[in-house]
Each structure stands twice: as structure tokens, then as C-alpha cells.
Structure 1
Amino acid sequence: MPKNLTEYNIREKFLKKLIDIGVIMCFLGMIEQIVVQPCIKSIMLMVLLFVSLIIGYILSSTLNRTDLAEIVIGVAAIYVVFPLMYFTNGGITGGAPVWFVLGMFYIICIFDGIEMYLFLILAILDDIVVYLIGYKYPKLIIPIKSDALAVLDSMFAIVFIGIFLGMIMKFQLKSYSKAREVAIYQKNETEKISASRSTFFANMSHEIRTPINTIIGLDEMILRDDTISDEVAENAAVIQNAGIMLLSLVNDILDFSQIENKKMRIYEVSYNTQEMFSELISVIRNRIESKGLAFYVNIERTLPSVMRGDPKRIKQVLLNILVNAAKYTKEGSVTLTANAESISDKRCKITVSVADTGIGIKKEVIDRIFDSFSRADGSEINRIEGTGLGLSICKQLMDLMGGEITVDSIYTKGSVFSIVLEQDIIDGSPIGNIDFLARKEGEHTKFKHLFEAPDVRVLVVDDNDASRMVTVKLLRGTKVQIDEANSALEALNLTCQKYYNIILLDYMMPEINGVEALQKIKQQENGLCRGSQVLLMTAEGERNVINDIMQEGFDGYIEKPLEGNRLEASIMSHIPNEFLEYCIDTHYVSEKSLAGDMQEKADVLKKRLIITTDCVCDIPIEEAKSMSVKQVYQYINTPGGRFKDTVEIGIDNISDMILNDRKKISVSAVSVEDYEDFFATRLTEAKELIHISVAMNFGKSYYNASNAAKCFGSVNVVNSGQVSCGMRIVLKYAAQKLSEGATAKEVITTINSIQGRIKAEFLLDSIEPFYENGFVGKRKKIIFEALNLHPILVVKRSSLHIRSFMVGDFEKARVRFVKRTVKKLKGRPISDINISHSGIPVKEQELIAAIIEKNVNCDDFVIEKSSVTNACISGPGTIGIATYIDKQK
């Protein structure tokens, strides 16, 4: 079927056009055949072509099967009618060869891809066969009666096929022209929508920033009051941080619009490194600590004190990352780390990382974590607020700044986001040992005004009453003389009556906007403020728009929401020194103390690679410890509750229960989520992990582990192909290879290479446990129980199979089983023999050990109790023997 509805409609219209023209040609062809070659066969071919066209029309119009109609018409015309016309219309001397050209044209126009090539090859082969038959058997061709009629037939074919092809091409060009017109129209509409959206975002920026300006500004006035209680001060600080966070969300939406429209610009300025980190930490600290999380700051003392870049965008990226770290971390900590690497005397590469102990990110999600509107799935994620824009904007901002952002995550254990960015060094002196002092309980910082200038006149022009009130209150402590105007018209009246040193002019106002007001003030007849310093006040969030506005002649600008010290600093920079009765160093403007103590946290040294396995690997406890191998438990379900094998229950605790209540005990593999948690914990200890799994067809363990590994980039799940004592041999050689410094790939290669040389067999007392776990059918169970047979199982193709059986007393059968195995091993290069059992008496164990040591020469012989899981699956008294044949011995 066609790929989409548009393509389907185009092909349907094209086919109908072909059918319309084809029907006309069929009628004309019939007339031509009567004149040139009045042969019933030739006329019937035209009738057949006409019928195929009608069938095609019905299939396309009535049944909506354009694809089938194309095939019916093509097969009938190209492979039936046209070849037969060659033989009924004079062969090469007539007009039939021209119809072959029409057939190829039809195939190329109608079909695509493999269909086109297939039909085209068949058509060419068909034409070749027709020509060869006509050449070898000329008697099969019905000749045209005269040369004149042959010329007429050829001319008819050329004229009609030429007209046919011309009309089809004209139809195609007309369709293309219409499609182009539609595309141009849609493009214009899209551009209009884009422009409307940009206007919307610009207006939204102003409309949202204006009330935020009021909230933050009035909140700052509360914080300035040193008579308020500690509780009020704390509440006000929370409101201030919330306002800043809200502003950050608004900026994300606006920035996304700019990036989409390719209008985002990076503006590099000199910035103080200490100030940038101080401001960043002061904004986020309260949010992190309010969740009960520890906040660690580890900023390298050797960072250059002044660098050149875009501090606003750097802070925006880091703030987004820190906010996410706080959102997705329930307990634990968030760690901010920064260091620098010198590239040259004038340039360095800074690396800033944010590590958290949160829910982490699954491996399959990491590849799209920086996509717009992308969020991971899951109940934990869905309960957390977020737009999915933050990280996408971070990625694109880092690209614009020539840096990179990366993520390294361990699912369920946390993530580390890092940015790497090159910056110019303006002042290479190190920032030193900065004491980020905490705001102690019971006190809040007393606000200091930057200057006092009683003789300076300031005019505040803003149509929003709340914004105007905030500006006036923030400047009240500087003792400047302030007048207010609620419109540009009122401001123009005041500038004719009084001189103002500084005019603060809002940009978006009704009737006359800020730019028009500036021009009128500068050109005002009898105006007293043509030489005044005019500063733009704007809630416009797009920097490039602000720059365009500034080109109109403003002396500076102040961005809303207003912040007290920055507002004062901007105004002070435009006041002559003789007007300043009091001022302090403007370096104070950006200095802020932290909301908590700075703490340093050393990185935990991880191992390069570790090996883990399932608990069904019957390995001695001390040996597992010596190899630093951790095992994943299995669940043992008993009448007394569910227990974790190797963790909550051992073979000694459950032996009697297995013997007495076998049918009431079952085993279940741990879930994918359990494996995820296990892998995540292990990855806090090592950078990479190899999990040697039980044979892939033995329960669900291998598949659950493999699915869990998809969440991580550093977990390799390997099918051991073995169970029980056979797994212990695999594990031994994998651990030896790792101890030699092998890579994960080399260890996995070793595991795969030894699997075929490990032979494992097990003798069970009864088939029942094997049946209950779904390994054999009911018929075999009945036979084995009726004859009291002891099944012998062998590991083959990653699964357990019944190979044979033994009869008689089970204890004696075990000894015979061992002797028979030993007999097979005599004279063979055996490196390892590993025996596991579920409850064999000590004396019998000693007897078995003596038989092995007397008859087989091997390097490593171990006899060990099986795990609870294996005991539950195989039943009490089971014995397993695994041997490793070393071909190099």
C-alpha cells in the first residue's frame, strides 16, 4: 500500500489519467486495426487491454486498491497485450516495438523501489524473448499486407504513443506546479505562524516578567528591613528564590523559541568567577536543602579569577542541571564540582560537574535525554514536574558556546552531568580559598545601599503601577529625587517643566513605546532633558532584541525583574562623582553569602572491572570472597515466608523443610527491577561489570538480567551455558583472567572459549522436582516414578536434559554414578573437577573424594554444598559433577 495518504491520492489521480487516455487509445487502436490489419486476434487484444483498464478503474475508484489496479493494468498490457501485438501486427516491421517503450515508461512512472526494478527487469526479459522467438520462428508473425499499411501502423503507433506520453508529462508538470504553489503557500503560512509565535513569546515575556518584577522587588524590600523577625526573613528568602526559579522557567520557554528560530546569540563579557558561582549556589541552595539533601561544593581554588564568556548562559545551564538534580533525588546529596585545565596563558578549559544520588537514567533513555520535550518514562518520573525543555536548551546553549555537555548515569543510583567549556583568561590569578559563609540561623544580611545622591533627579516612566512602585521603593534609600509618569505623554509634559539627570524609560507602553518616547525627548522643542541620560527598562527576554533597541540611542538598560543592587549600580554609573555624597565599591553588587556551609567531598575510587554471578553458581563462600564476586540472590518461597537465597537463608536452614514439605517450597528468579538495583549498587564500586549468568534456558534469570543491563552502558551479561558446579568453573577462569589485567572483552572471550570443554552431569533421587519446575512432561514423570528411576541430567545447549537413569538404592546409586564418571575421565587431561551436593552425609563425601583422588589426576578438586535454590530445584541428596578438560595439558 502507499506510504501515506498524500502519496496515495497523487498516484490515484495519475493512474486515472492514464486510464482515461488509455481508453481513448483503445478505441482508436481498434479502428486502426480494422483499417490496417483486419484480424480478429489484433482486435481482441485491444478489447483485452480495454477490459484491463476498466478493471483497474473499478479497483482504484470503488475499492480504493490503486496498488492492485496498477499491477493488473501493467501485467495485462506489458506482459500479455504488447508481446502478442508484436506477433499479430507484423513484428519488427509494424508499430508494436513502440508499444514496448510505452510499457517501460509505465513501469518507471508507476512503481517505486524493488517493485520498479522487478517489473522493469521482467519487461526487458519479456521483450528480448519476444524478439528472439520472432527472429527464430518468423512464421509465428502475421505479416501486414503491404508496406504502405506497415508504414501507417508504425506512424499510428508513434503519433499516438507520442501524444500519450506528452499528455502524461503535461499532467505531471501541472501537478508539480500545483504542488509547488501549495508548498509556497504553506511555507508563507508557516512563516506567518512563526512570526506570530515570536510576537506572542515577546509579549508573554513582558506580561510574565512584569508581575515577577513586582514579586521579587517588593520581596527585596522586605528583606532590606532589619527589624523583621527571623521567620519573616526566612519566608521572604524562600519567596525570592521561588521567584528566581519561576523566572528561570519562563526564560527556558523564551530561549526555546529563540533557538527554534535560530535567533539565539552568545554575548561574551568579562566576568568574575567567584561571583558567578556565588550567585548560582545562592539560588539553588535553599531548594536542595529544603528536600533534606546534603549539598557539597568542590570548587578548585586555582580557577582564574576573571574570565571572558557568557556568564548568564553558563549559569543558566548549570542552574538547569542543579534543579534537575534536586528534583530527581529523594535522599542523599548533590555535589557541584568545578576545575580548570590551562590551555595557554590566555585560555583555559573549565569542567563543571553536578553529581546526584537520585533515580538515575536508563541506558535507552540517555541517547534522547537532550531532545526537546523528552522525559524518561516511569511512575517516579511522571510524578515530578517538568517541561522536558531544560536539558535540550542546555545542550544547544553549550553547542553555541563551543562546549559540550555529557551525562554518566547509574540507573537507580544517580547521575553526573558535566559541561566542558573553553574560556579566555582575563585575570589569571586564582580565586583562592573562598569561604562561602552560611547564613546562620537567627540572622539575615543587612542591606547596604551603593550610593546616596540627594541632588540627583530621576524620572521613572512606566505604565504599570506595580512596577513603578517597585522601582521607586528600591531607589528610596539612595535619597535621589524621584518623579513618576504613567505614560510617555505624561513624561513628555514633565520633561518640559523639569530637568532630570536620569530617565528610566519602560519599553512596552501603550500609545507611545519607549523608543518613540526617547526620540521625542531628544528632539523636544523647549525640552529640558534632551541631554539627560535615558536608561531602558525592559522585561524583554531576548538579548538580540534588547541590543536592537539599544541601537536607537539609549544610554544603558536595566533588565526586569529589577534587583536592588544592580539597579543602583546601573544608575550610579551615570551619575557624575560630584553628585555622589556617599558610594561604595560596586564590586559589592554581586557578592552574596551562601545559604549553607561549603563542604568538600572526595571522589570514591572505583575498581576498573568486577564480576558478578547468580547464586545458583555453587562456589565456596571463601573462594567467592577471595575473587570479590558478588552473587544475585533467588527467591525461596516457603510456608513461613519468602527468603533471599545466600542472604536470608542457607542450605542448613532449609534441608529438613525440603525433605518434609518439598511440594510447599518453590523458587522464583528475581525481577528485572531487582537486577537493576543489584547492578546499580555494583556500579558504585566499579566502572564496568560482567555478570556471568546461569544457562540462558534455565529459568528467567538470564533474560531478566539482560533486560536490566539495557539500563546501563557498563553492564555485560554473559551466558555461562552452565548451572551449579559447572558455573563455578566458568567463574574461576573468568576471575583468573581478570586478575591478569584483562579487559571486559578479553574476559568474555575467555568465558565463551571454555564453555564447550565443561561437562556437567547431575543425579537426582526423583524426577518430581524436575517436573514441578517445568523441565519435563507428565508422561516421563509417570514412567520414572512407576519404575523408581533416578534421572541423570546433563547440561546441553544452555539447558538441562535427561540423558539416562540409574536404579536401586539412591545412596549406592550416587557412588556408582561417581565411579562411572571417573571411569570416563581416566587418561584425559582434566584440570578441574567440581562436585556439588544437597545434603550428602560426610562419610559419603569422603568416599567420593577418595575415589576421585585415587583414579583422576586433576589440578583442582572441590566438593561443596549446593545453594538453597539448586537444592529446591533438584531435591535432597542430588549430586552434580562438573569437569573441565584442558586441551593444553
Structure 2
Amino acid sequence: EIRTPMNGVLVMAEMLAASELPPRARKNADVIVRSGQTLLAIINDILDFSKIEAGKLDLDNLPFAVRDSIGDAMRLLSVRAHNKGLELAYRIPPEVPIALRGDAGRLRQVLLNLVGNAIKFTVEGEVVVVVELVEQGDDAVELQFTVRDTGIGIEPDKQQTIFEAFEQADGSTTRQYGGTGLGLAVSARLVELMGGEIGVESAPGQGSTFHFTARFGTADPSEAAVVPLDAEELRGLKVLIVDDNSTNRLILEEMVHGWEMRPQSVESGPAALAAMWTALEAHDPYRLVLCDGNMPTMDGYSLARRINDTRDFERPVVIMLTSGGMVDQGALRDELCLAACLIKPVKQSDLFDAVATAMAGDDPTRSEATVHEETEHSTTVGRRILLAEDSVVNQKLAVGLLERRGHVVRVANNGKETLELFEREPFDVILMDVQMPEMDGLEATAAIRAKEAISGRHMPIIAMTAHAMQGDRERCLAAGMDDYLAKPIRAEGLFAAIEAAVGCHEDEEAENDEARSACGNEAAACPADDSTTAGEMHDPVIDWIEALDRVGDDEELLRDVVDAFLQESPALLDNVRQAIDLDDTKTLQRAAHTLKTSFGHFGAIAAAELARELESLGSEGRTDGAAPLYGRLQERAGVVLDALKRYFDQGIKT
């Protein structure tokens, strides 16, 4: 009753600000938007605080991937930090379990508050989050989370009162920085509910260190949809880390050490060139360079140019780590032959995907554009593909990408239609969604394999799923699928998976059914280009660089996908609401799953995460706690859909 009208005011204000206005009116509209966002945040804090004080706030106890959860939270704040010229980093050492059980949403809420405050009160320097294992039992762990900044600091006599409601370190803080003092009070109560304690060490002018502990249950990685990283191919790889920030160097070293790579770190471009010469003279050259884009004296892009211009040694694969989006990033990436550009702070899984994909090709002299051009004219043209997918948005995206490559695509809306088309028409490969009505992808695959047991043939089948269910990957492969694509789908990942699956199939037939070579179930892995536009003043609603990347930089296809989602989303949201009202967990899971994937296509992380939480409830056969989640999803979806409509109607990316 409070949030809904406020959200309506905010959405209309954003629409007004995006319309054609005189400069003075636009400035006024922007003030309304910023004030509305601040007021909505205060309303949320007040409602949470009231619920906690009344003892009405219950925590979820669901499996989650702690590294992905924290990485997504940091990504939401990265634009804000980068706009202030701050380094934002986080470190999770290997001993911290990869899968936990608890309330990931409330953990993120605490971290977003603490890190958001750190960014707000820091003018220059860095904000660093560190997660440490305090204690581990058979089925539970205690973790400590530390948020350290180089900001203005806090007077000693104010350090205990800041966790009380409506308290701030200084009366002038509200005037200069805004806020009510409720955020820390809410965070402190949430930490107590998670079985932990919160505290702070600080000194004026010397920054602050906030820390809290929390207890979680342990979970099997498959419960949290964590796919183990297979680092066998990277073992022993020599890598050079180039970053002027010592914290970033430490974090990257720890990540690649975990994959048994051989890292060395340097703090500048000139030092990197010297290290490369030394390694060459020792006949042990670097094969990979992880390079910060923003460094003094010689930045990462200048270093990449020097590497490309030097013909005295074999050029290594270069992956650029940047602090913000660049308007011409794609062109610059091609010009400098960069394997990938990732936005800091980099998630471990994203870095692994980027490194694994780059090293699989291991030809740094060819740009991504060159590879793309060669692929356009390769044997990928002319495949007959059966797409089994019930989501209109996913259909539009996949068909658009595939037809652009010259493939012929037939669409089936469920497993039964898939079987009918499989029996009637010849295909080279089937792209099979796992979750479909009437007959799901696993059942359809099992039926196809049963028929093939009689005919002696083998149809390549690629699973398409969003890591939603426990053991999802294992069930797909056990059902007889040949490969596994994670949604939201990326263009190059899709094409690579098709060629891997069909290529293996053709090799098999040519070799009279000899043992299949390992074409690799990770062919679909693609670097997650965590990009956001540099000019945004608040957390982005939609990651347009991400959205364009998923459609292969095809603006026309992106418009088609946006149009399809604008048409489909109202019914999906209504299906979620009705499913909650009727306690229909199957419909809840399926509708939320489709929404999650669709939001993911556009890099709308917050909305996708809310849909994922609803999907998890449905998969567990529960609807308790779903109503408030749906309310939050409805609010966020309204903002996302409004931004998509502005893009579709006016071409404006906000």
C-alpha cells in the first residue's frame, strides 16, 4: 500500500525525464527521479525495520552460491564506485564453501548497505570486501564479512550509536550525504537474525572497517546450481597479472592459484613488458596476461598495443579488466586483439569462463571480429535445427541468431511437438529447453533416445536451462543430452555448442561409430562481459552492452526480443500472482523460471534474482513467503519494462 503508489510516481517521473524537455524542465525531472529513488529506499528501510521490531521478519533457508551472490551484489554497485573513480574489489578465499543454505537476499541487503555507505563516504581510494571462514562444522559454517574503505572515517564516540535507528555519525552527514540512519540499524538486526554480530573500527580521516559474522547451513553444490569448474586444461599455465592496485593483484593471484596456474604480478605497463622479456629469455614465456585497463603512465590499452607491435616474442592472450563501460569497447577490443573485456570487480566464474574460452582457441593474433567473420562463412551455414522452447522471448532470440547464420529453424512449443517434428522431418541438431509444459525436455530426450535404440541413429541434443534445479546438469547428461547451454544464451556460445555437437556427430558417422571424441560440454562457455554504460548516475536498470552482446550486436534483433518480452511479460507476471494465490507451485516455478531467463537477456540482475527466488520456492513445493517476493518483483519489473518500452518506442537506452 505504501510502495505501490511510490513506485508509480517514480516510474512516471522516469518517463518524464526521458522525454523531450527543455533543459530546465529536464533538470527538475531528474531531481524528482533522484529524490523518488531516495524516498523509496527510505520507505523500504522503514518497512523492514518495523517488521523486524515486530518480530514478523522470517529468514529464508534456501541453497545459494555464495560467490555468485556476492559477485552480483558488487556488480550492482560497480557503476556507482567507478563513477567516483574508486576501486571496488572483493575477496573470497578457497576455504569458504561454494554452496551455503540461508537467506541470500538478506545477506546481500546487508552487504549492499555497508558497501553502498562505504562508496558514499569515500572520496578517493578503494572499497574492499573480504569473506573469511571463522568456523566449520558438519552441516554449518560461520563466516566473517569485512567491508574496508579509505573514506572520511568515524569519531570514536559515534561508533556504537550508528547502529541505532535514525542515528548517524554526524548531524552534518544528512545534509552533505543524505540518508536517515536506518540502513545500519536494519543491517544490525538482520545480522542478529543470521546468528552473528556487527561492529566497526574507524578513525577520522583514516577510513572505516565494518565487519559482521553470520551463520549458514552447508549445501551440496548441485543444490545451489553450482557447476564445478574444470581447470584441468589451465593447470600450469603461466599468467602475468598487471594492476597498479595491490588488492586487485592479490585477489587475482588467489583466483588463478586455485586453478593451479602459475601467476606473477606487476604494478605497471613498463614492468609488465620487462617481465615478459625476462620470461622469454628464460624460455618460459607468459601465455596469458590479465591486465587492468586504467593505470597511470601506461594504461592497459597502451600495453596491449605495445604487445601487439612487438614481433620478437609470441603474443600472449590478453584479457582486459576495466572500471566502467566504454562507448567503443567492442571496436577497441577488436583493434587490440583482446580475448575479452570484463568489468571489475570480476566474478570468479566469469573470469574462469573468459580464460577457458580464450585459451581453448589460444590464438591471440586474431581478433574476435576475425573469428566471427570466419565463422560466418564456415560450415555452420545451412544446419537444420529443431528448437524446443515454450518462451516467446527465447524463441525470438534463438531463431533470430540462428537464421542470421543461415540455419533453417523449426520451433516446437513443448516436448510433444518436439517428438512429432523429430519423427516427421530430418534435423542436424535439437536445442532442447528443459522446462516446458505437457512434456519437458528430459522426457522428450528420453523418448528420442528410446526410438534411436531401435534405429541405431543418434541425434545431437543440446540442453538449454538456467541452472534452476538441483542436479540439473547431471540430469540433462544422464537423460542422453550431448551438451549443456546456460541461459541467458549468448550468441557465440550458442554457435560454438552447435558446431561442437554436430561436429562430434559427423565425426562419429565418418568413423563408423567409433568412440566419441571429447568435444567438450563447456563449448558454450563464454566470457561474461559484465559491462555497464559509464555515464549512468545510479544502478543500471538494464545492461545494454550485455543485452547487445547476447544478440551478437544486432540492434534489429534486440528490438524484436524486447517487443516479444513486452508482449509476454504481463501474462507471465499474472501467472506468478495466480499461482501464489492458488498455491500452484508447478506454475509458479515455470512462470518464474521464464521471467528469470528473460530478465537475464537484458542484464536486469535485480529482477532476475527476484524471479529466481520465486522459482526456488516453486521447485521446493512452497508458496510461503512468495507474496512479498512477488510484490518486490512487480515493482522492479515495472521499472525494467518501462525502460524496455522507452527503448522500443524511442530508441532511448536508460
Fold conserved (TM > 0.5)? Answer: no
Q: Normalization by structure 1: what TM-score?
A: 0.28
